[in-house]
Every structure is written in structure tokens, then in C-alpha cells.
Amino acid sequence: MRSGDYESSTGSNIGTAITFLLIGLGAGALLALAVAPKTGKQFRRDLKRGYEDARDTLQDWGEEARDRVRSAKERVRDVAERSADLADNLREKVEPLRRAVNRG
């Protein structure tokens, strides 16, 4: 991994682009519904469907975000445990050398 290059940086840009795309699509759909020659009942039904679709999409994104946070948390925990194991292993190997230096 290069310095300053984070794994989530490219995903964040893609996520932002998709978010703005969906917002634009939603706004365009609302505008199209508003100017379309439909009855009020049809418009409200279509508006309700659009709301439900958007709500479902947001729930999916929330679940995905929770999964990613959980995964990142597990990776951090694994790295911390490996680091602690390496430190313990290093202490065990260096201890005889430390004792020899203190005696001499």
C-alpha cells in the first residue's frame, strides 16, 4: 500500500457519484410525475412507490455501511492482535540478549 493511498478513498468517490446520480434520478422522476398529465390519485400512488423504493435503497445502503464498519473493525482487531503477538515474540527472542548484556 502506498503512502496516503487508502483502500476506502476510491470507494468513497464511487459511492458519492452513485448517491448524486440517484438523487438526480429521483428529482427527475418527481419532476416528470409533476408535469405528466395524470390524475391526483395516480400521481400520489406513483409518488408513494418512489418513496418506498428510495426508503428500501437507503435501508440497503445502511446495512451495507454497517457491514463495512463491522468488517473494518474486525480487520483492525486482527492487526492489533498480530502486532501484540509479534511484540511478545520479539521480547522472548531479545530477552536472552538483554540478560547477556546486563551480565557483561
pLDDT tens for 40-64 read 788 788 888 988 998 999 899 999 9
Residue type for position 59: Q
Task: Give Cα 11 to chain centroid, integer Å.
Answer: 8
All three cell numbers of 14, joined, read 464511487
Tell me what percent of the residues of the chain surpass a pLDDT of 90: 30
* Residue extents of the structural domains in the chain: 7-103
Q: What is the pLDDT of residue 29?
A: 81
Residue type for position 62: G
Instruction: Enter the pTM of the model.
Output: 0.46
Nearest residue to 15 (alpha-carbon basis) of 76, 58, 70: 58
Higher per-residue confidence, 37 vs 67: 67
Say which residue the cell 464511487 belongs to.
Answer: 14
All three cell numbers of 65, joined, read 455501511
Backbone angles phi, psi at 5, to 5 degrees: -110, 105
pLDDT averaged over the chain? 83
Q: What is the pLDDT of residue 1?
A: 45
Q: Under a CB-based contact definition with an 8 Å cutoff, are residues 29 and 54 in contact?
A: no
All three cell numbers of 68, joined, read 463495512
Q: What is the pLDDT of residue 7?
A: 52
Q: How confident is the model at residue 12 (pLDDT cuts 50, 70, 90)?
A: low
Residue 102 has pLDDT above 80, yes or no: yes
